[in-house]
Structure 1
Amino acid sequence: MRFSVAVSALFVLMGSFVNADLHKEGLCIDKIGGQYVYNADATKKACDAYLQRNTGDKQWDKCPDCKMTEVGKLNLCQSLENHIGGDELNYYCTQNGASDSLAS
């Protein structure tokens, strides 16, 4: 399921987003008609894939606590232990049909 959410609304709900470093929350988005659109299906699939990830010994190589959670009526992938890497989340989002990702 996809629905349009203005970028400013996403920032209000989740704070500032960046694509590098380690994060507690992330989601997948598409850019349609000049606006960012939340991609719920890709977000869930990316979160599930990140939960299964085991590629090394760095903080972002595994996410044993990755789970879907709701923040302000928006479902996103969450890791309270900061296991979500911005580049890695973007990889899983694009592999699952989204054009980009946001993480905070």
Structure 2
Amino acid sequence: MHFTSTLIFATTLLAPFAAADLHWSGLCVDNVGGQNVYNDAATKAACTAYAARNTGSEQWDTCPDCVMQTVGGLPSCNSPAKHIGGDELSYYCEQNGAGGSIAD
């Protein structure tokens, strides 16, 4: 019983220090027939929305360097300083009509 209480207490203390899922680039997709299909309009809108984001002091709360960039013929939202949060990008993609997002 003491071990379980200690484990729960330690987990509670360490949880706020868990690393966030941050990315250099990402894009919006739709699932069509089990395949991810690039959604250009949603990617551009999500990148613009993320660039305007200012929701706190964590790295993923702002993306002052978010810009659209074409790499390998595929436009994506890029952040050289790795400000793109996976959950946040998915949120903006879904808000702009995509089924979800993928990131590096």
TM-score (norm 2): 0.80
User: Percent identity over the alignment?
Assistant: 64
Tell me, in whole angstroms, the C-alpha distance in 2 between the residues paired with 1:36 and 1:25: 16
- TM-score, with length taken from structure 1: 0.80
The reply on whether 1:37 has 2:25 as its aligned counterpart is: no
Aligned to 1:6: none
Q: What runs of 5+ residues in structure 1 fail to find an aligned partner?
A: 1-19
Equivalence map 1:25-104=2 (5 Å): 25-104=25-104
CA drift at 1:98: 0.3
Offset at 1:36?
A: 1.1
RMSD over aligned CA atoms reads 0.8
SS of 2:88's partner is helix
| Greater helix proportion | 2
What count of residue pairs does the alignment treat as equivalent? 85
Runs of 4+ in 1 over 2 A off after TM superposition: none
- Where does the alignment leave 5 or more consecutive residues of structure 2 unmatched? 1-19
Q: Which has the larger radius of gyration?
A: 2
